[in-house]
Amino acid sequence: MRRRRRAAGDGEAYDIVTPTEREQVERSIARRRRRYFLVMGPCVALVLFGFFVPAPTPVRVAALTIAAVLPPLAVIIGS
């Protein structure tokens, strides 16, 4: 038994969903929050390294210096 081929107008209907304004805003906030935390993660790691890892003092100071620059950078990237 052969199956009948569907015509172009007789085919499946596509469900196109347009996000509401509120959904777009929520997605935008989530995206910005994710970028912020992606930059702040290494900042926290560098601070922990600088204070708790027994490394040479210049290395620890360099890690803390880099960590001091990351929070303003995270705010700029996140917004």
- For 1-18, write each residue's pLDDT tens digit: 566 555 555 667 788 888
- Return left, alpha or beta for 59; rule: phi > 0 is left, psi -120 to 50 is alpha, else beta: alpha
pLDDT, one tens digit per residue, over 29-48 is 999 999 999 989 999 999 99
- pTM reported for the whole predicted model: 0.67
Q: Is the pLDDT of residue 24 over 60?
A: yes
Question: ∠ CA(45), CA(51), CA(55), 5° rounding?
Answer: 95
Give the pLDDT of residue 3: 60
Every domain of the chain and the residues it spans: 36-79
